[in-house]
Amino acid sequence: MTIRIAFAIISLALAGAPAWAQASTQASPAATPAPLADLVQVELQTEKGRILLALDRGRAPLTTANFLRYVDAGRFDGITFYRAMPYGSGNGLIQGGITKDSRLLYPPVAHEPASKTGIAHEAGTILLANAGPGTARSDFFITLGSIPFDDDFAPFGKVVEGMDVVKAIFASPTSPTKGVGAMKGQMLEPGIVIRSAKRVPASTAN
């Protein structure tokens, strides 16, 4: 009874209140829900072993579709991880992509930054590399740990198996002379071949 009386008093008070006071009590419009993850698994068979990726098609649809286009066309088969970039102590990234035949490259894909997708920069993140927003094609990074890329590159998934392989590639020999500018000394010699890249069912992660 007391609760009903209190509710009635509040209702009467609002009825005679200014419009701004009444409006402030109304529910705010529902926020736009964040995109949901929709994972697609891709297996990279490399000279150092198997890397299993979970690509987030739900939150980074354009970036994921771009990567899968190369996978499905077989254009990643036989390419290399060609760079190992250190970042701090025990951290860094490996980079792979099509470098020898530009005819295998598809047109650039629109940029999907982390601030839009909500995909975190952390250990095992895969990101599409670029020379500026909207220029990304085939090149991608896999990180060993968290690197503060902010919105410079587009993260679109993570390693779910094979971080030991990522670390082994990162630890492979590099040339002291190859590479331009900041990349000098980061070129793997020889590059680590990706023998095949293909989609695989989610059950293969079990």
| CATH code where residue 88 lies | 2.40.100.10
Residue 89 located in a structural domain: yes
CA distances from 177 to 82, 107, 126, 189 (A): 14, 31, 27, 10
Which residues does 86 contact at the CB level (< 8 Å), separation at least 6?
Answer: 92, 186
d(CA 108, CA 135): 5
Q: Look at the chain and report how many structural domains it folds into.
A: 1
Residue 158 located in a structural domain: yes
pLDDT of residue 34: 61
pLDDT of residue 118: 96
The pTM of this model reads 0.81
Residue 23 CB neighbour total at 10 angstroms = 9
Residue 31 located in a structural domain: no
pLDDT of residue 202: 81
From the centroid of its chain, how far is CA 102? 24
Residue 147 located in a structural domain: yes
Which residues does 185 contact at the CB level (< 8 Å), separation at least 6?
Answer: 174, 175, 176, 177, 178, 179
Q: 10-residue block means of pLDDT along the chain (206 residues)?
A: 36 38 44 74 98 98 98 98 95 97 97 96 97 97 96 98 98 95 95 98 61
Residue 34 located in a structural domain: no
pLDDT of residue 30: 55
Q: Give the structural domain span for 186.
A: 39-205
Residue 26 located in a structural domain: no
